[in-house]
Amino acid sequence: MKTKILFFAFFLFQTITILAQDMASLRTEALKSYKASVNMNFDAIFETTYPKVFDIVSQDQMKAMFGQMMENEQFSIKLVEVEPNFSFGEIKKIEGKTFCFIDHNNVMSMKFKEPMEDAESMVEIFKSSMSAEKVTYDKLTNSFRIEMRSTLIAVADDLTKNQWKFLNKDKENKMFSMLFDEKIVKALGL
């Protein structure tokens, strides 16, 4: 009986230790991913991105898309580094893969090149289309500050050598659905 209790205690201790290590590495990697994005460090962004993404869009294509999105004829976008205040969901194991949703603060500055005619309607558009919590317009700089909570989906599996890699969660979960089967999508409530 004493052996069984000792074995159970050891097993429980190991499980708690593994989960604590998993959460510690998840926190570290999530911060690395956040900082890479804020600094627009493409190499670091690609290093923290779930690798199957690059089967759909190459790194060169992604770099070009980011470049076009961040600076074009109409506006420029800069991500503003703030305290991310990560909020970690439950770590779930499904079909040999491990997932976790991570919410974090995300702030961007969007500067328009032409004067804004109707800044108030743009504020409302940003709030609804981006689920932004706060949008402010600065007439002097012709720019919007957009504050929101964004969600990263962390994935660790054989492909990542069980290291955490990330996807940005979009509203319709299109990218996630392209990468994972319907069973996983349903199990995660997407």
72-126: pLDDT as tens digits? 999 999 999 999 999 999 999 999 999 999 999 999 999 999 988 888 899 999 8
End-to-end, the C-alpha distance of the chain in Å comes to 45
Q: Tell me the pTM.
A: 0.82
- The number of C-alpha atoms within 13 Å of 102 and in the hemisphere containing its C-beta is 25
Q: What's the CATH code, domain 2-187? A: 3.10.450.100
Gap between the Cα atoms of 177 and 164, Å rounded: 19
* Torsion, Cα of 44, 106, 50, 173 (10° steps): -160
